[in-house]
Each structure stands twice: as structure tokens, then as C-alpha cells.
Amino acid sequence: MQKVLIAEKDPKTREHYAALVRALGHRPLTCEDAIGVLDCASAHPEIDAIVMDLDLPGAWGEQLLEVLSGLEHLAQAPIIVVSAPRSRTELMRLLVMGMHQWFEKPPEAAELMEAIRTCLERSAALDIFDVEGPLPGTADGAENSSWLMHA
């Protein structure tokens, strides 16, 4: 069972997203504001994906996105943003800041569920790799470091 952090200020919408996550067989962790998101992210370093609104009380959404994507323990957690309409320029900036997918409110339930499912599968696949460890087939990875220059 994977954990999905849901950051949404509206209680009904937050519960709707949580129900989608539960229907996929996973555990939702819900927050209503930016402080709650940061507290939850600190308390649960094993978060596998994030579904968030950019318009949360307590912080400018882009700042929160940047902070979350910069946390080492969340580096592999995909971030799905569900928010009010944005311009192409804003969406490009959000992608650079760490957003993986964006939905305009209100999203179709089936589409959001599929995005969450796909992100969780991706997150699970990345978990099998130890990106900080040595390269496969070496004691410390050093003798295979030359492959980087020949690729």
C-alpha cells in the first residue's frame, strides 16, 4: 500500500480525492493548508505521490511546490497539481519546479485516478533502484565509471 499526500483546502474535494486513492488500494494522507503539507511531509518520509492544489492557505503554491520537490526524501515522489486555470507560461514554470502532471479543476475522476495510478506505478518502479548505491556488478561502482564518458 502506497501513501499519497493530498493537499486541498476544500473538505469535500479533499475527501473526494482521498476516496479515489482508497479505491486504488492506497492510503491517502490529507492536508488543508501549506503548514499541514510540510508537517505531513516531515512526519511521513515514505510518501509515494502528491496531489495538490496551488491555492492553499499559508503559502504561495509555487513556493510550496518548489519546497516539496526539493526535499530529498520526496525527490522521487511525483507531484500532480489540480488547480485553477494557468497560462502556458505558468504551466511550463510549474514543470520546471517539479510538477509531473496538471489538471484544471474540477478534474474528471477517471482521469485523475489514472494519473495517480500511473504515478504510483512509476514511483514503485523507481523504488527498486538505489540511485545512491554503486553501479551493478561492482564493489564500489568506481571501475565502471568510465561508461559515462563513452555513452
Strands 79-83 and 49-52: parallel
pLDDT at 68: 87
Beta strands per DSSP E along 1-122: 3-7, 27-31, 49-52, 79-83, 101-104
pLDDT in tens, 71-129: 888 888 899 999 988 889 999 988 888 899 999 999 999 999 999 999 888 766 665 65
Q: Residues 16-70: pLDDT tens digits?
A: 999 999 999 999 999 999 999 999 998 988 899 999 999 898 877 888 888 888 8
Band (pLDDT 50/70/90 cuts) for residue 4 is very high
Which residues contact residue 96 at a Cβ distance below 8 angstroms, ignoring those fewer than 6 apart?
none
Question: What is 3-131's CATH number?
Answer: 3.40.50.2300
Is the Cβ–Cβ distance between 115 and 80 less than 8 Å? yes
* DSSP per position, 45-62: TT--EEEE-S--TTS-HH
Domain extent listing, the chain = 3-131
